[in-house]
Amino acid sequence: MIPIEKKIDILRIMYLIREFEIASRNIFKAHLAKGEFLGALHNCDGQEAVAASIGAILRKDDYVFTTFRGHGHSIAKGAEPKKMMAELLGKKTGYSKGRGGSMHMFDPSIGLMGGNGVVGGGLTLAVGAALSAQYRCSDQVSVCFFGDGAAAIGAFHEAINLASLWKLPVIFLCENNLWAATTPIKFGCPIENISERAKGYNCVGKSIDGNDVYTVYETFLSAVDRGRNGNGPSLIECKTYRHHPHCMVIPEHRPKDEKQMWLQRDPIPKFEKVLQNENILSNHQQEKIRNEIKKIIAEAIKFAEDSPLPTVDTLYDYIWA
Amino acid sequence: MIPIEKKIDILRIMYLIREFEIASRNIFKAHLAKGEFLGALHNCDGQEAVAASIGAILRKDDYVFTTFRGHGHSIAKGAEPKKMMAELLGKKTGYSKGRGGSMHMFDPSIGLMGGNGVVGGGLTLAVGAALSAQYRCSDQVSVCFFGDGAAAIGAFHEAINLASLWKLPVIFLCENNLWAATTPIKFGCPIENISERAKGYNCVGKSIDGNDVYTVYETFLSAVDRGRNGNGPSLIECKTYRHHPHCMVIPEHRPKDEKQMWLQRDPIPKFEKVLQNENILSNHQQEKIRNEIKKIIAEAIKFAEDSPLPTVDTLYDYIWA
Amino acid sequence: MRDITYTAALREALFEEMEIDESVFLIGEDIADFGGVFGVTKNLLQKFGRKRVCQTPISEGAIIGAAVGAAMTGLRPVAELMYVDFILFAMDQTVNQAAKLRYMSGGTVKVPVVIRAQQGCGTCEAAQHSQQLEAWFMHTPGLKVVIPSNPYDAKGLLKTAIRDDNPVIFLEHRMLYSARQQVPDDTWTIPFGRAEIKKSGKDITVVATSLCVHKALEVAKDNHFDIEVIDPRTLVPLDIDTIAESVVKTGRLLVVHESIAQCGVGAEIIRLITEQYFKAFKTAPKVLGGAYVPMPFAKVLEENAVPQKRDIIETINNMMKE
Amino acid sequence: MRDITYTAALREALFEEMEIDESVFLIGEDIADFGGVFGVTKNLLQKFGRKRVCQTPISEGAIIGAAVGAAMTGLRPVAELMYVDFILFAMDQTVNQAAKLRYMSGGTVKVPVVIRAQQGCGTCEAAQHSQQLEAWFMHTPGLKVVIPSNPYDAKGLLKTAIRDDNPVIFLEHRMLYSARQQVPDDTWTIPFGRAEIKKSGKDITVVATSLCVHKALEVAKDNHFDIEVIDPRTLVPLDIDTIAESVVKTGRLLVVHESIAQCGVGAEIIRLITEQYFKAFKTAPKVLGGAYVPMPFAKVLEENAVPQKRDIIETINNMMKE
Ligand SMILES: Cc1ncc(C[n+]2csc(CCOP(=O)(O)OP(=O)(O)O)c2C)c(N)n1
Ligand SMILES: Cc1ncc(C[n+]2csc(CCOP(=O)(O)OP(=O)(O)O)c2C)c(N)n1
Ligand SMILES: [Mg+2]
Ligand SMILES: [Mg+2]
């Protein structure tokens, strides 16, 4: 079903996300060692299958609203690693010119409507973007990423209710990685599958393996079709896991065996194996892509480091349009 | 199942609510004619079966959180009409000493935890009262009234989710009267029965005829048992109808035939007929109760009118405990 | 010239801007068939259809959030909040999102949203229906704040608000809806950041907002002191120069508003003028604001919880004595 | 005497009050097993169990609402908000409900709830994690507002807050958690409404809050002017008398805080002192507050968005020149 080039693209993006996350952690640690705190860093290693599959389906003009854990989604939507890296360092050349940092990268020209530091902060905004698409009779869709933790926030309810009432092209994409900061899912949600809530809004809901590219791809594809065809929103829950603690300053606290189990379900080797079995991916090719990615990341770091900081006289720039 | 005296009590309370509402409208109109605006008045004529049935089950120490349309719930919980009437007139002898008015009558000594001017404003508070009951190992329950309109507010989601997670003794009691101010239910809710949402929280949900005393009584009784026994919250939707426009200053805008149909389902004659068929209620008895009620209301009005207004020097009283 | 109400003025502004610009639409509770609880959007459904007059469930967070999301993606929503008190369910969307998105995005996102909200007191609706929150919004970088006191300003400023590319909080006072005024036959806009001297005078500067402008003007009319009454009209941006010039002339400053005095608009105006024009004062500047109390229900208490003409007169007399 | 951190001081207060009073309990995100993202509630789960250390979903509205409901019915909840920014999802519960319930009920309801929230900047967390909202709460009748600047005050004031029968907003600055101080071996409380003169002086009065108290004290230490530094500690109630006495003595007033200057705490203090002690001023009073900008991410910008020691020094020098 998925064209071969697309499959390779997806893997490529998964690599890129993974390498970006590794690099960003290293940079943050290096700065921390120098006594420079670069803010909160929330990495998404382990969740790449979701971002990459979705990125492969969306058009450039579709909207994505991401979270504080948004590097993967941004890369999958086409964000340039060098501008992202520069933003991480607060540089003038970063996506938000140093105003945003890790949690707030925007590029409306590629439909990247930004990260959000507020858990669930993007839910109602994504509904607005979908309303706008419907209003303009474009067939864009609006994707809102959020976590299992965010599913407890009141805005979730208001957003999905309005989207269902108005049949808006929104895809509510919940990445259920079983933890919200240090809180296990069972402390936050009294049901097994968050997607079951969809029924309460006459909305389509699906809970799927978020570490399996094909499953995510297929499920998301039909949700996008639903949206484009004017059939309203979908609530998709992808079960997945982050490989690292909630953010840089919080130590690991999750059960060892749980983590171990999920590391074995790492979506990257899993998808590599699939492609190898399909004879689409050779070792050589794999190596080649990995090297390209390494180069992109190295260039991004160099670009970011070489870039100037914003100057103090620009403090008040960009408050008003 | 219901003891006979209780049945008569329920009818009595229904009469009392109806007469109170009629009287309050008359008073508001009379004041308006004198150019005195007494604030917003939201009457509940037509919805008496819900309030009265529930009041007949609750203990004095159970909690009730009501809304801006709360006269019926307050009376059913044991509030005194004269103090209510005094509050409507902003008198010093009113439940809130003239600070609250129609929307804000409180009497914690009978578990009446107040009306709320904010749609859905009581939802999370009721959860807190239930938490308090559970914490103190009392077997009190906490009842939160809200409308079909309020079911769209984010607090609904947060409240029911928390109550379900913690198995709190809350009864979320939705009076679905088909309209939220001037907005029909289909503009606010994309599903037929609001109680279907309960599943999304692993909570018990029921949608029932809210104009039928026995149905409300039975359903509510089992919800109260559930709460008292530590088995968590319930979401009960009572389908009902208000006989008058949203509030005094909004003209009628609902379809004539819809209203006509519901007037024929008026819970008071409906329950009278039931009791007559059961040979519990004679015409004479009915007349007697009605006369008692009329007297109570007349006394309440006199008390309210004779009571003094708060004095200006007390403006700052009751800000702090 | 013709005579219109504040309500009609607002409706004209909405009507005209919706006619000119297809990307302008309305979103809020009870605004379509009924035309809004205060009647501002009456007949707009009939003219523009459901696509452009979107009646929502009771979901203030989603109303503002959807408006912000639509604004980020090319539309110009005008959201209506029935009472500003209910924005307390939409503060994340208003303050964490609308106000900050442009800055956080380094100027790549634009949020041309107008949030119209009705506020005020005078109708005995008690504490949860009588807050006046302009000071909070002034304290929030990234929000423009408009607070018109008459039909002419209401229309001209609402049209400007809709054309502005930034989030604008537009605060209407419910006791002003029926206020009438002679206005021109053709249309107009009013730029933000221009206070208006509603009456000039040389003895004392009274800065007043919203309903209090009228109280101040009535006091000024038959007072033996020569009172200058200034209406800032927009609080962000604030035309502090016009106020300063006046204070330099009169040497006395009184600010009058219904919203709470503590950390309020008056405090801010006093801060600004005191910091820069301290020497201009002949006597201590003063704020008459809402009493530090949740708004009580009973008329007799409500009236005493906000400045009345007698308070303004008394304060001016005291200030002129010093 | 012994040396403790601000974090430990807060934890001691919670621990002691929970031991004394069974009706005190904690509610918030990540507060149980992990002990809170800033570690304040560490080990309290182990000591008091899940009944009294309630870890919630991410539902700020329900956290505050449940705390308020519990407070209305006999308990004394202490709610924790990880960042004050997230109270924007709980403003109805905080402002429409907690603040107003007692008044609206004519004094029949009591709401003894403490809302602890962490705020501040200095860690490059940008606009949605760096707001400081004490001015809003001062503008809301019915809320007490506490903002301790050191471990001794943090402990003593938190204990008082928990014993208070009213809603208290308790604002902790995240750059202070590791601050250390010598404190007594036995326990203490501090009454609300008592400012502390952290350093006395005769040339100028500097009122500072939270982290800015330390900046002001450092400036005062080796300055050639004799600076008086006052920390109000509680903003509601506000000890205006202590500030006024100082201004009467020095004739000069500077207020320093990180929160936004517009309609802020400084503006309010200037309003109060100016209205009543105008003649005391030798020179114009001044506020150094947060810049009118959503908090930027980059360190170089963040630092320049809040008052630094150099700004305080420069301002004092200018004020002393006049
Ligand atoms: C409204 C709000 N409450 C709390 C926080 C603090 N916080 C940041 S991330 C987080 C956990 C989010 O969990 P989840 O939604 O599952 O996303 P994940 O981190 O797993 O990707 C919390 C509690 C916040 N940023 N916003
Ligand atoms: C948060 C909030 N939004 C809007 C309003 C204005 N308002 C008051 S009552 C009402 C309709 C409520 O409908 P519903 O919940 O069905 O209760 P009903 O009036 O039918 O009893 C509205 C919109 C409000 N008070 N609070
Ligand atoms: Mg998670
Ligand atoms: Mg209804």
**Smallest CA–CA separation between A289 and chain D, in Å?**
33
**Smallest CA–CA separation between D250 and chain B, in Å?**
34
Question: Is D190 a member of any domain?
Answer: no
Question: Is A309 a member of any domain?
Answer: no
Is C129 one of the annotated active-site residues of the chain? yes
Tell me the pLDDT band of B249, cut-offs 50, 70 and 90: confident
Indicate the top mutation candidate among D31, D58, D88, D93 to test ligand 1's pocket, ranked by most ligand atoms within 8 A of CB.
Answer: D58
Tell me the pLDDT band of B1, cut-offs 50, 70 and 90: confident
Q: Are D111 and D96 in contact (CB under 8 A)?
A: no
The per-type count for chain B, helices as H runs and strands as E runs, is 11, 7
Instruction: Kindly report the length of chain D.
Output: 322
Task: Check whether residue C176 and residue C240 sit in a common domain.
Answer: no
d(CA C147, CA C168): 11
Residues near B216 by beta carbon (within 8 Å), at least 6 away in sequence: B49, B50, B53, B54, B208, B209, B210, B238
What pLDDT was estimated at residue C322? 81
> Among the options D12, D17, D29, D129, which is catalytic?
D129
Question: Is A38 a member of any domain?
Answer: no
Which pLDDT tens digit goes with each residue over A113-126?
Answer: 999 999 999 999 99
Residues near A295 by beta carbon (within 8 Å), at least 6 away in sequence: none
Identify the CA nearest to C54 among candidates B31, A75, A128, B84. Answer: A128
Is D60 one of the annotated active-site residues of the chain? yes
Strands A170-176 and A234-239: parallel
Question: What mean pLDDT is predicted for residues B205-227?
Answer: 98
Question: Is D189 a member of any domain?
Answer: no
Task: Check whether residue D228 and residue D121 sit in a common domain.
Answer: no
Judge whether B315 is closer than 8 Å to chain C, CB to CB. Answer: yes
Task: Check whether residue D177 and residue D243 sit in a common domain.
Answer: no
CB atoms within 10 A of CB C254: 26
d(CA B262, CA D165): 47
Token pair, residue D71, equals: 């407070």
> Among the options C12, C17, C29, C60, which is catalytic?
C60
Domain with B79 in it: what CATH number?
Answer: 3.40.50.970
Task: Check whether residue C128 and residue C12 sit in a common domain.
Answer: yes
Task: Check whether residue D37 and residue D155 sit in a common domain.
Answer: yes
**ipTM confidence score:** 0.98
Identify the CA nearest to D127 among candidates A101, C222, B156, B257. Answer: A101
What pLDDT was estimated at residue D280? 97
DSSP state of B117: S
Question: Is A314 a member of any domain?
Answer: no
Task: Collect the ranges in chain D with pLDDT lower than 70.
Answer: none
Task: Check whether residue C70 and residue C213 sit in a common domain.
Answer: no
Question: Is C191 a member of any domain?
Answer: no
DSSP annotation string for A121-174: TTHHHHHHHHHHHHHTT----EEEEEETGGGGSHHHHHHHHHHHHTT--EEEEE
Strands C114-119 and C168-173: parallel
Question: Is C201 a member of any domain?
Answer: yes
Question: What mean pLDDT is predicted for residues C7-36?
Answer: 98
Q: Which of B88, B91, B182 is most worth mutating to test chain C (most C CB atoms within 10 A of its CB)?
A: B182
Domain with C289 in it: what CATH number?
Answer: 3.40.50.920
Identify the nearest ligand to the CA of B42 by its number. 2
Task: Check whether residue D103 and residue D154 sit in a common domain.
Answer: yes
Question: Is A95 a member of any domain?
Answer: yes
Question: Is B118 a member of any domain?
Answer: yes
Which pLDDT tens digit goes with each residue over A211-265?
Answer: 999 999 999 999 999 999 999 999 999 999 999 999 988 999 999 999 999 999 9
Task: Check whether residue D35 and residue D110 sit in a common domain.
Answer: yes
d(CA D291, CA B9): 64
Looking at chain C, the whole-number percentage of residues with pLDDT higher than 70 is 100
Q: Are C150 and C178 in contact (CB under 8 A)?
A: no
Do D136 and C138 count as a contact with CB atoms less than 8 A apart? Answer: no
- Across chain C, mean pLDDT equals 98
Question: What mean pLDDT is predicted for residues C239-263?
Answer: 98
Task: Check whether residue C85 and residue C149 sit in a common domain.
Answer: yes
Which pLDDT tens digit goes with each residue over D149-163?
Answer: 999 999 999 999 999
Chain A, nearest residue to C61 by Cα: A155
DSSP state of B262: H
What pLDDT was estimated at residue D322? 81
Ordered alpha helix ranges (H), A206-266: 213-228, 256-263
Partnered with residue C197 across adjacent β-strands are C230
Instruction: Kindly report the length of chain A.
Output: 321
Residues near C279 by beta carbon (within 8 Å), at least 6 away in sequence: D284
Question: Is D58 a member of any domain?
Answer: yes
Ligand 1 pocket residue status of D89, Cβ below 6 Å: yes
Do C37 and B253 count as a contact with CB atoms less than 8 A apart? Answer: no
Partnered with residue A239 across adjacent β-strands are A176, A209
What is the 3-class SS of A209-222, one letter each residue?
A: ECCCHHHHHHHHHH
Question: What mean pLDDT is predicted for residues A9-27?
Answer: 98
- Domain extent, residue A118, equals 4-31+47-304
Residues near D21 by beta carbon (within 8 Å), at least 6 away in sequence: D76, D162
Task: Check whether residue D277 and residue D240 sit in a common domain.
Answer: yes
Question: Is A182 a member of any domain?
Answer: yes
Model-level pTM?
0.98
Task: Check whether residue C36 and residue C150 sit in a common domain.
Answer: yes
Tell me the pLDDT band of B286, cut-offs 50, 70 and 90: very high
Question: What domain count does chain D have?
Answer: 2
Task: Check whether residue D133 and residue D222 sit in a common domain.
Answer: no
Chain D, nearest residue to A42 by Cα: D125
A1 has pLDDT over 90: no
Question: Is C190 a member of any domain?
Answer: no
Identify the CA nearest to D131 among candidates D91, D183, D158, D184. Answer: D91
Which pLDDT tens digit goes with each residue over A64-109?
Answer: 999 999 999 999 999 999 999 999 999 999 999 999 999 999 999 9
Question: What mean pLDDT is predicted for residues B266-283?
Answer: 97
- Domain extent, residue D55, equals 2-183
Which pLDDT tens digit goes with each residue over C125-169?
Answer: 999 999 999 999 999 999 999 999 999 999 999 999 999 999 999
| Separation of CA C182 from chain center | 20
Nearest to C104 among D281, D283, D294 (CB): D294
What pLDDT was estimated at residue C31? 98
Question: Is A225 a member of any domain?
Answer: yes
Question: Is C8 a member of any domain?
Answer: yes
Q: Which of C263, C272, C315 is most worth mutating to test chain D (most D CB atoms within 10 A of its CB)?
A: C263
Question: What domain count does chain B have?
Answer: 1
Question: Is C189 a member of any domain?
Answer: no
Ligand 2 pocket residue status of B118, Cβ below 6 Å: yes
Q: Are B240 and B270 in contact (CB under 8 A)?
A: no
Chain position carrying tokens 């804000």: B104
Ligand 1 nearest-atom number relative to CA A181 = 11
Question: Is A42 a member of any domain?
Answer: no
Domain with D124 in it: what CATH number?
Answer: 3.40.50.970
Judge whether C294 is closer than 8 Å to chain B, CB to CB. Answer: yes
Nearest to A318 among C62, C70, C107 (CB): C107
